[in-house]
Amino acid sequence: MATNNAQRYSLVAMLFHWVIAIAVIVNWRLAEAAEHAGDAERAAIFANHKALGIVILILSLARLAWRFTHPVPALDGVATWERILARTTHVIFYVMLIGLPIGGWLGSSYFGSGVDVFGIFTLPALPVGENPEAGKAIFNLHATGGSVMIYLIGLHILGGLKHTFFDKNGGIFRMLPFGKVPG
């Protein structure tokens, strides 16, 4: 991943970041709502959760392609341990943003179901054969991964706030088209 001397991420990178962030939070809330809904409502909520998961997958793959082909701002003035933590967190984010939707699709496939993406297209079930027990196990891992993702988002937000308000290096504003980034 190339870096550059720019103070901010590109507008396209910012758009990917915020759209995916909002989609992940909405999808987490959908999963939470489905867990507390009645049987009839649960299926409809989970259908939206699965569809949005596939949208997140597509956006994340596009964002990753963008990141590999466009330089990102250097992490100047940041301690080595913070740089390592930031890079590690970003790698884990990408693994989860790609792995969680694929895991959800795989879990559905074990129940013999594809994923309808808001009526626009349907991903067919993966060719794994029906195995509800495997599907349940995958969905349990998927739920655990979703919880880890929420904690990771919290860590990411805390890091941005620390850099912005304690270190005063403009942390959050690197991913926003406004605000001051010292340089």
Q: What is the DSSP letter of 178?
A: S
pLDDT at 3 over 80: no
pLDDT average, residue stretch 5-23: 92
In the chain, the domains with their CATH numbers are 7-175 (1.20.950)
Instruction: Give me the pLDDT at residue 4, please.
Output: 56
Question: Measured between alpha carbons, how far is 93 from 150 in angstroms, rounded to an integer?
Answer: 10
Radius of gyration of the chain (CA): 18
- pLDDT band at 76; cut points 50, 70, 90: confident
Other CB atoms within 10 A of residue 136 CB: 13
Contact 49, 31 (CB under 8 A): yes
pLDDT in tens, 103-153: 999 999 999 999 999 999 999 999 999 999 999 999 999 999 999 999 999
Q: What is the pTM assigned to this prediction? A: 0.92
Question: Residue 97: is its pLDDT beyond 90?
Answer: yes
β-pairing, 72-73 with 3-4? Answer: parallel
What one-character-per-residue DSSP string does 124-162 give?
A: PPPTT---HHHHHHHHHHHHHHHHHHHHHHHHHHHHHHI
